[in-house]
Amino acid sequence: MPTVLLPASAAAFAPRSSPNVVLNTKVEPWLTAALKRVNRVKRPLNSVAQHTRCLTETLSSPNAIWTLCSIMFPKAPDADLRKDENPLVEAIFNYQMIHIEAYVVHVDMVSQNEVAFKLTPETIEALVEFHKDVYSVDAAASTWEWPEKDAQLKKLQEEFVQAANKFVYRTNVQALEGLEEDGAGELLCGRSEEAKAAIMSLFVPLLPPPPRVVDVLRPAPLLPSSTGPETWWHSQIQQPAPVESWKVLPSSPSPAPAGDSHQNMWASLALNEFQLPSPAPSYSQPYTTPPYSTPEYYSAPATSAAISALPLPTMLVQPCSTAASMAGFGWGDRYQDFAPQYGTIM
């Protein structure tokens, strides 16, 4: 975006002077109609130079004051406002209307196609007074106290004075269609709302310093070794569930391949001889591993001695067993009871 060059009259605290007017080689018809409407004395407008001279003299008139917008401000700080049940009474006694007035300092219809306005000294004084007596007081009351608060508030007021004097409102050059007699006028087509937003942007809030970051001391987490009770580690180890003695062996062991599980099974037989069932010649149901518990599955050294005293399982399980062969192992008197239940399936 090219740099916009404004005249010296647009600088801060500069006195008012004639505006700088630059027209194009072809004058717009709406500008010619506006100049003929506002001039009481008929003047020739047949060239660009005549339009430039007529527009400059019209905008240089002391009465050529434009109303950019009107803003309603409170008359006093919020703590001093009058409280009344009737809202109309509160509006009359507590608020005031400030008309934002300005004058034209620059007209460019060649490159930027814009018109620039500068606030009048009376408007600047009214805004500065409101900022000091009302806005600053409310801003100070709505923030917490800190050591540099007064200095920051004073700096905020000084910066507002500078901003109000430097303020220049730029808009499209067609805003000159609102030109009236003696060079006065007002913004049309919603431009007054844009000017109001630009004026309100001058009121910068009072920002307190950010809160200091404080390191929060958190207690160190307790390690497992510092919990105290010695039973902490024991509680973490899951003890095997106790198994009843009658659940140690299945009701009918099948002739599965010999292995470590069958050797441990026969070791349990030596410890519980009174629960020995009679082996079946053949059984079609698949064998499932019984839920042995840890203490009974790995027995004491006495178990190994009992294993050596007993014959191997292959010697006990025979395809054609009779009552006579079972009598050698002490099962002769029990064979008649278990034979019908575990007969050979043909």
In one-letter notation, the amino acid at residue 184 is: A
Residue 272: what pLDDT? 47
Average per-residue pLDDT for the chain: 76
Domain ranges of the chain: 8-200, 245-338
pLDDT for 224: 59
What whole-number distance in Å separates Cα of residue 314 and Cα of residue 345? 20
Split at pLDDT 50, 70, 90, the class of 208 is confident
As a whole number of Å, the CA-based R_g of the chain is: 54
Q: What is residue 304's predicted lDDT score, i.e. its pLDDT?
A: 47
**Mean pLDDT, residues 109-135 taken together:** 95
The model's pLDDT over 218-232, given as tens digits with 9 standing for 90+, comes to: 777 766 555 555 555
Q: For 71-80, 121-130, 310-319, which range has the lowest pLDDT when averaged over its residues?
A: 310-319
Give residue-wise pLDDT tens across range 327-337: 444 555 554 55
- pLDDT at position 142 is 92
Closest CA to 15 of 86, 113, 120, 112: 120
Give the Cα separation of 93 and 324 in Å (integer).
127
Counting residues of the chain whose pLDDT is more than 70, the rounded percentage is 61
Structure tokens that stand for 230 in this block: 């010695």
Q: pLDDT category, 211, cuts 50, 70, 90?
A: confident
pLDDT, position 42: 84
Instruction: Say whether pLDDT at 323 is over 50.
Output: no
Are the beta carbons of 297 and 264 closer than 8 angstroms?
yes
**pLDDT score for 58:** 94
- Confidence band of 240 (pLDDT split at 50, 70, 90): low
Beta bridge partners of 106: 20, 116
Report the pLDDT averaged over residues 306-314.
51
pLDDT in tens, 55-108: 999 999 999 999 999 999 999 999 999 888 898 888 899 999 999 999 999 999
Written in H, E and C, the secondary structure of 202-249 is CCCCCCCCCCCCCCCCCCCCCCHHHCCCCCHHHHHCCCCCCCCHHHCC
Say what the pTM is.
Answer: 0.61
Inter-CA distances, 24 with 112, 157, 161, 227, 258, Å: 11, 42, 36, 90, 113
**Whether pLDDT at 201 is above 50:** yes
